[in-house]
Amino acid sequence: MDRPSRPAATTTATLAVALSALLAVPSPAVPSTPRSARPATTPPRTAVPLTIVAGGDLLVHGPVWRAAWSAGAERRYAFARLLAPISPTVRRAHVAICHLETPLTPGPPRGYPTFRTPTALADGVRRTGYDVCTTASNHSLDAGTHGITTTRRAAARAGVPLHGIARSAEERRAIPVVRTRSGVRVAVLSYTESTNGIPLPRPWSVALARPDEILRDARRARARGADAVVVNLHAGDEYRTTPSATQRRLAGILARSPSITAVVGQHAHVPQPITWIAGTPVAYGAGNLLSNQSPGCCHAASQGGYLVRIRSTARRRATGRGFVVRPRRVEYVPTFVTRPGYRVVPALASRATGARESARRTIAIVGRSARIRPVIR
């Protein structure tokens, strides 16, 4: 339902040090190769690291845009200030992917049930360090074709490529590709299971989560030179921490395709597990990144989420053209939205009330193994 939360009583209980062992583990070394959308300036090594980061829903309810307005001294919406605590994690990635759940429109903003989000959010995600955004969601058509047009215009002005919504058949066929400094090319694709019952104005308006279409697009991305393909799925059941049958079916099909490198999901507004299928990392649901949801209105886990970090090795092909990308392990940073203020913080590193409890809950849901582990930031 994506409904905003009612004010909840602030808790002052101190958490037991159940996460002390995790906190004692140092964060992994930051890759020395910075992420950039510019072409390589020096010949790449035979093998280079590739780190991809993606997160949960950007769902801007009234209290969130008011916090952004306040952060901009009531002269502008300063969404980047709300996202500033996670900016170092985003910027350390070679490719950073955000998920815009709602249309960006000029004029007065609006929240649930039909969202109109300030266009300044596009500039905010760019300033945070994101390279590309996915946009296919159940709210893609909240503002009709006008919202699709204004969202794409706002993102273009901010220099943020999008996938998931389109104004034309040609735009629907376009695939955003981020090229790192080492020359690795990463394509990003976005699809949704639902548009809340709103019919598509045109067949190309919103990319729907149909396996044949997704696989076709992934193969086209490879044919156009992509070394890796990340598929974003907006699917599942809201406030369910376990993936739905549709999510599991889609993930099973996509993860077994040689054209797809990783699958990342949103929509449930609570964290969902991360797993490996046929050697492909699948993050079923990253929860909420920024919203007004909390235990006061919704699920106990709706005030948090996670940034998934997929660490891979990219090896140059013997032909010298392109790379073979192999995911090696997955890390995730539990996140939490502070209140008041609506700042997104790394939950394990924060002293904000409720942050550590949220992190502990996220870890219990998402899981950990030899190739999947939570990290502080």
- pLDDT 10s digits, 240-291: 999 999 999 999 999 999 999 999 999 999 999 999 999 999 999 999 999 9
Angle 240-243-244 (CA atoms, 0-180°, nearest 5)? 90
How far, rounded to the nearest angstrom, does the alpha carbon of residue 150 sit from its chain's CA centroid? 21
Of 56, 59, 55, the C-alpha closest to 112 is 59
Single-letter amino acid code for the residue at 211: P
3-state secondary structure (DSSP) of residue 198: coil
The mean pLDDT value for 176-186 works out to: 98
pLDDT tens, 163-175? Answer: 999 999 999 999 9
pLDDT at 177 over 60: yes
Report the pLDDT value the prediction gives residue 103, as an integer from 0 to 100.
98
Q: Which residues pair with 47 in a beta bridge?
A: 315
Identify the pLDDT of residue 320: 86
Domains and their CATH numbers in the chain: 50-374 (3.60.21.10)
> First CA to last CA across the chain, in angstroms?
30
Give the least confident one: 27-31, 72-76, 345-349.
27-31
Residue 311 phi, psi dihedral angles, 5° rounding: -100, 125
Q: pTM for this structure?
A: 0.89
Residue 61 Cα distances to 2, 7, 65, 102, 173, angstroms: 9, 13, 7, 10, 31
The full DSSP string for 246-282 is HHHHHHHHHHT-TT--EEEEE-SSSB--EEEETTEEE
Tracing tokens 């204004």 back to the chain, one arrives at 150
Determine the pLDDT at residue 129. 98
Mean pLDDT value of segment 193-220: 98
Nearest C-alpha neighbor of 3 from the set 143, 108, 115: 115
pLDDT exceeds 80 at position 18: no
Q: Which neighbouring-strand residues pair with 335?
A: 305, 346
Give the burial string for 143-167 (b: 16+ CB within 10 Å, else e): beeebbebbbebbeebebbbbbbbb
- Angle in degrees, 0-180, between the axes of helices 211-223 and 245-255, rounded to the nearest 10: 30
Q: Considering the chain, what is the average pLDDT of its residues?
A: 91
Per-residue pLDDT reduced to its tens digit, 107-144: 999 999 999 999 999 999 999 999 999 999 999 999 99
Q: What is the pLDDT of residue 11?
A: 37
Task: Measure the CA–CA gap between 255 and 230, rounded to whole angstroms.
Answer: 10
